[in-house]
């Protein structure tokens, strides 16, 4: 019995949703141990005894189905990652109800931990679509992975904008199986993401799962759970984007909203979020200034894990920035002027250079190259 197989089997047990599954695995130590421990968990896990009885009675059928799901994923080229495995997104593990397992197309990169969700209405205005595409482009140019739900309107624009950026990355979180593109009108975005290797398509639902209305609000917790925060571009009073924003607050994430004209049907929800304390967003710098402290903490953790003498090659724009820093150029404005890159692009390369340990930020807020001994 593999840990991955046991995770999918537990997911197949009726009544054992993500919250109970996390509680069980935290108590037992692994998904395999959940099935091995059985009734021993009843007093310490606060799971109703009837559900533990169901685990025992449905075990065989649950494992048979899990085996079929794993095989289907393998044939489709999907990677399956269990909650307890190293490849599972660390930030998503923190939420109270993380998916037991994820079905993934594409390769997750360490830099994807620096991510923000961009969400909004499917019936977006032309102005909303334009803004979402621009913010996706600018965030991706700054080295931030854009996470959204591949829906029409704002989601599609944000994904497209991120992929328009040089090296830009995006994650599409689906409410269907990872192999099912919904809506079909976004097939080009889906195909581009995979073909050009611009990010990840991820779902908690097994291969072949078709769109079911209640799946989409459920998957919204994954969008917010993966990210440092969520940006609401346009959203009426009743909108799935507002569900995502509420979940972000519950998960301790930042919430951003783009202000809309008074009495705008499409913007009433975003305006209400601002009234309730969401960060107002008019340009990408409004977002970067809020998340910078967390980005610096993330970079610091990565640098502490870095092998001191490990050589890390830099190329392209990062190499140009690095050479300027070695030559004594230290301020952001000077780096922008001399590199002839846009501010978001310079910020992106500085972030990447910090992550791989080639530069550091000084107490004065400038940057300097890290000298490496032979």
Residues 275-305: pLDDT tens digits?
A: 999 999 999 889 988 887 777 666 555 545 5
Q: What is the mean pLDDT of residues 3-9?
A: 96
Give the separation between CA 273 and CA 48, rounded to whole angstroms.
37
Domains detected in the chain: 3-106 (no CATH), 110-287 (3.40.50.450), 307-369 (1.10.10.10)
Range in 182-196, 203-217, 252-266, 323-337 with the lowest mean pLDDT: 323-337
Distance of CA 41 to the CA centre of its chain: 32
Decide: pTM greater than 0.85. no
> Which ranges of 142-232 would DSSP assign to H, the alpha helix?
154-164, 187-195, 215-226
Tell me the C-alpha distance between 129 and 124, whole Å: 6
Q: 252 CB contacts (<8 Å, ≥6 apart)?
A: none
For position 245, what pLDDT does the model report?
A: 94
Highest mean pLDDT (candidates 30-44, 154-168, 319-333): 154-168
pLDDT band at residue 364 using 50, 70 and 90 as cut-offs: confident
Q: Distance (Å, rounded) from C-alpha 323 to C-alpha 167?
A: 20
Which range (46-50, 112-116, 294-298) has the least confidence? 294-298
The per-residue pLDDT for range 171-199, each reduced to its tens digit, is 999 999 999 999 999 999 999 999 999 99
C-alpha dihedral (178, 77, 156, 245), degrees to nearest 10 = 50
pLDDT at 328: 86
DSSP readout, 97-117? Answer: S--SEEEEEE---GGGGSEEE
pLDDT reported for residue 237? 85
pLDDT tops 60 at residue 311: no
For the chain, give the mean pLDDT. 88
Region 262-284 average pLDDT: 89
What contacts 111, CB < 8 A, 6 or more positions away?
143, 145, 169, 352, 355
Average pLDDT of the segment spanning 121-130:
94
Nearby residues of 197 by Cβ (< 8 Å), 6 or more positions away: 106, 107
Q: What is the pLDDT of residue 266?
A: 80
d(CA 33, CA 41): 10
CA distances for 283 relative to 25, 57, 347, angstroms: 42, 55, 15
């Amino acid at each position: 019995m593999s840990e991955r197989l046991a995770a999918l089997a537990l997911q197949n047990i009726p009544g054992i949703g993500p919250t109970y599954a996390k509680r069980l695995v935290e108590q037992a130590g692994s998904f395999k141990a959940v099935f091995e421990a059985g009734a021993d968990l009843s007093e310490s896990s606060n799971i109703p005894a009837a559900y533990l009885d169901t685990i025992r009675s449905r075990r065989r059928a649950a494992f048979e189905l899990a085996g079929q799901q794993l095989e289907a994923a393998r044939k489709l080229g999907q990677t399956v990652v269990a909650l307890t495995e190293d490849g599972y997104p660390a930030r998503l593990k923190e939420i109270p109800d993380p998916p037991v397992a994820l079905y993934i197309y594409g390769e997750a990169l360490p830099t994807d931990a620096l991510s923000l969700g961009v969400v909004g209405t499917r019936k977006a205005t032309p102005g909303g679509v334009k803004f979402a595409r621009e913010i996706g482009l600018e965030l991706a140019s700054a080295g931030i992975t854009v996470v959204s739900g591949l829906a029409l309107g704002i989601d599609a624009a944000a994904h497209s904008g991120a992929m328009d950026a040089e090296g830009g990355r995006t994650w599409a979180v689906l409410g269907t199986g990872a192999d099912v593109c919904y809506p079909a009108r976004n097939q080009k975005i889906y195909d581009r993401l995979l073909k050009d290797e611009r990010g990840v398509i991820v779902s908690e639902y097994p291969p072949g799962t078709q769109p079911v209305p209640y799946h989409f609000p459920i998957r919204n917790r994954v969008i917010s759970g993966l990210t440092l925060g969520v940006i609401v571009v346009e959203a009426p009073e009743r909108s799935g984007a507002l569900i995502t924003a509420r979940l972000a607050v519950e998960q301790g994430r930042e919430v951003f909203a783009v202000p809309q004209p008074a009495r705008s049907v499409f913007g009433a929800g975003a305006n209400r979020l601002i009234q309730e304390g969401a960060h107002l967003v008019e340009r990408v710098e409004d977002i970067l200034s809020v998340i910078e402290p967390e980005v610096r903490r993330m970079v610091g953790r990565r640098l502490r894990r870095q092998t001191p003498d490990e050589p890390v090659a830099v190329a392209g724009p990062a190499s140009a920035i690095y050479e300027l820093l070695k030559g004594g150029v230290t301020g952001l404005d000077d780096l922008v002027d001399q590199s002839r890159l846009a501010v978001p692009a310079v910020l992106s390369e500085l972030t990447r250079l910090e992550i791989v340990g080639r530069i550091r930020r000084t107490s004065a807020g400038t940057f300097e190259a890290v000298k490496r001994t032979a």
